[in-house]
Amino acid sequence: MEVRIYYEDTDCGGVVYYANYLKYFERARTHYLEEHGLSVTGLLKEGTQFLVVHAELDYRTPARYGETLTIDTTVTQIGRSSVTFAHVIRERTSQRVVVEGSAKLVTVDLQGKVKRLEKSLVDALQSPHRGKG
């Protein structure tokens, strides 16, 4: 997935504000789900939502206003009620690594109680990329 850096994403020096990478990770996870035939809205209707319980980021090089970033997202671990996503953000033209990180999410019901991942969800997360359409 790609993200273009706008002025609103940056600090006064034109560098992406560090916390915005967590937003980019969130967008990339949503994109990943969609690319694997899942939707956040559909999961909510079925009584499942994800909560982030742990996130790690390693900042490698600054991204700046006007650049376009690519975000590669993979599932690195699936537990009984958790999924860990890994993210690598690169500047599109140079391919330099900007940020690497991961986020562990747990599945919960609509009341916030931890629930086991359903087999259909695990299968979709592990399936090859479907693409849109």
What residues are labeled active site? Answer: 11
User: Phi and psi for 126 in degrees, rounded to 5?
Assistant: -90, -10
Q: C-alpha 125: how far from its chain's center?
A: 13
CA distance readout (Å), 99 to 8, 52, 69, 78: 19, 18, 10, 23
**Looking only at Cα atoms, what is the longest distance across the chain?**
47
User: Is-contact 64 53, C-beta < 8 A?
Assistant: no
Give the tokens for residue 113: 């109680």
